C-alpha cells in the first residue's frame, strides 16, 4: 500500500510524516521512543492496514532533521505533547487511536490524559502511566532498573554512547540500521535532551499526568530489563475506562520490532472499542 511522505511545518519546526493505509480507515497515531525513530513501527503498520486502519507515523522532536531545536528546555514534555496535537491538526484529523512505545508511551499517556476528546483509545507498549511508574519506584526494583538514565543525561553522553561504533546503544538491543540516523553530526543530542529536560530537577512535577478516561490497553514484555511488570500492571489504577493488560512472554523492551503481530492485534482490538 502506498505511503505518503509529508513534511509538516509547525512553527519553525518541520516534521517528517508517513501516512498510509485505507483512505476510509480509522486513524491511528503511532509515537516512537528512544533511540529509534518512527521506523520502529515498520512491521506493525502493514498489519494495521489489513485491519482497515489508516496510520500516521512521524519522527518526533529531535528525530526529524528539521525539528532539532537547540537547548534542553526545547524538549520539555508539554512541547512534545503539543507537537503531536499539532500534527493531527495540520492533517485535519479530529479523532485517532493513540499508540506509544517507550518515550512515545509517556507522551501518549499525557496526550490521552490531557486531550481525551481527540483520541478514541490508547495502546501503550512497555511504558506505564507516569503515576504507576512513581508507585513502582517506591515499592519495587524499578529504581534500580532506571539507573541507566544517569548515563543519558550527562554532558558527555553523546560521546560515550557513540563510542566504539555505538556499542552502548547496540547493546540495548537496537540494530545497526536503527542506530545509523543517530550517528549523523548532532543527531543524538535532541533525543538525549528528552531525558535531560524531563528527568532532571523536579521530575515528579514534570511527569505528572492526569488519569486516563479513554479505553486503554497496556502491553508489556516479561523480558523488559528497563521497565518492570509493576509499572505496567499498576497503570490500571490510572485508567478509569476499560483497561486491558497484555503480557507478552519472552519479549523484551522492543515490542514494536519483536512482537509486531501481537502489538498490531491489540491495536486492532482496541480500535473497535469506543
Segment 85-109 shows an average pLDDT of: 98
Report how far Cα 134 is from the mean position of its chain's Cα atoms: 18
pLDDT at 181 over 70: yes
Phi and psi based region of residue 240 (left: phi greater than 0; alpha: psi -120 to 50; beta: remaining) = alpha
Report yes or no: 57 and 30 within 8 Å, Cβ to Cβ.
yes
Percent of the chain residues topping a pLDDT of 90:
97
pTM of the entire predicted model = 0.97
| Positions marked catalytic | 102, 195, 253
Report the C-alpha gap between 110 and 24 in whole angstroms.
27
Direct distance between the N- and C-terminal alpha carbons of the chain, in angstroms, rounded to an integer: 27
pLDDT band at 81 (very low <50, low <70, confident <90, very high): very high
Q: Please tell me the distance from the alpha carbon of residue 160 to that of residue 162, in angstroms, as a whole number.
A: 6
The whole-number pLDDT of residue 273 equals 58
Cβ contacts of 135 within 8 Å, gap of 6 or more: 230, 231, 234, 237
Structural domains present in the chain: 3-271 (3.40.50.1820)
Closest CA to 35 of 178, 195, 219, 226: 178
The DSSP element (H or E) to which 191 belongs, if any, is helix 189-198
pLDDT of residue 205: 93
- Report cis status (omega within 30 of 0) of the bond before 35: yes
Q: What are residue 56's DSSP bridge partners?
A: 19, 29
* Interval 32-48 mean pLDDT: 97
Amino acid at each position: 500500500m502506498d505511503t505518503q511522505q509529508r513534511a509538516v511545518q509547525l512553527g519553525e519546526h518541520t516534521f517528517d510524516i508517513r501516512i498510509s493505509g485505507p483512505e476510509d480507515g480509522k486513524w491511528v497515531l503511532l509515537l516512537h521512543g528512544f533511540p529509534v525513530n518512527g521506523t520502529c513501527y515498520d512491521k506493525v503498520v502493514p498489519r494495521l492496514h489489513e485491519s482497515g486502519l489508516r496510520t500516521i507515523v512521524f519522527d518526533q522532536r529531535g528525530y526529524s532533521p528539521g525539528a532539532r531545536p537547540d537547548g534542553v528546555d526545547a524538549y520539555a514534555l508539554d512541547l512534545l505533547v503539543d507537537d503531536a496535537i499539532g500534527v493531527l491538526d495540520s492533517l485535519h484529523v479530529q479523532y485517532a487511536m493513540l499508540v506509544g512505545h517507550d518515550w512515545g508511551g509517556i507522551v501518549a499517556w499525557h496526550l490521552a490524559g490531557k486531550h481525551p476528546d481527540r483520541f478514541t483509545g490508547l495502546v501503550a507498549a512497555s511504558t506505564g502511566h507516569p503515576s504507576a511508574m512513581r508507585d513502582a519506584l517506591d515499592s519495587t526494583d524499578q529504581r534500580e532498573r532506571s539507573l541507566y538514565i544517569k548515563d543519558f543525561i550527562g554532558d558527555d553522553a553523546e560521546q560515550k554512547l557513540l563510542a566504539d561504533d555505538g556499542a552502548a546503544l547496540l547493546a540495548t538491543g537496537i540494530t545497526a540500521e536503527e542506530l545509523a540516523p543517530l550517528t549523523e553530526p548532532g543527531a543524538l543530542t535532541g533525543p538525549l535532551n528528552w531525558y535531560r529536560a524531563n528527568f532532571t530537577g523536579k521530575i515528579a512535577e514534570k511527569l505528572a499526568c492526569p488519569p486516563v478516561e479513554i479505553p486503554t490497553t497496556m502491553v508489556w514484555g516479561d523480558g523488559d530489563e528497563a521497565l518492570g511488570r509493576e509499572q505496567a500492571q499498576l497503570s490500571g489504577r490510572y485508567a478509569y475506562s476499560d483497561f486491558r493488560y497484555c503480557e507478552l512472554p519472552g519479549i523484551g523492551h522492543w515490542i514494536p520490532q519483536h512482537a509486531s503481530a501481537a502489538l498490531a492485534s491489540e491495536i486492532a482490538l482496541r480500535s473497535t472499542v469506543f
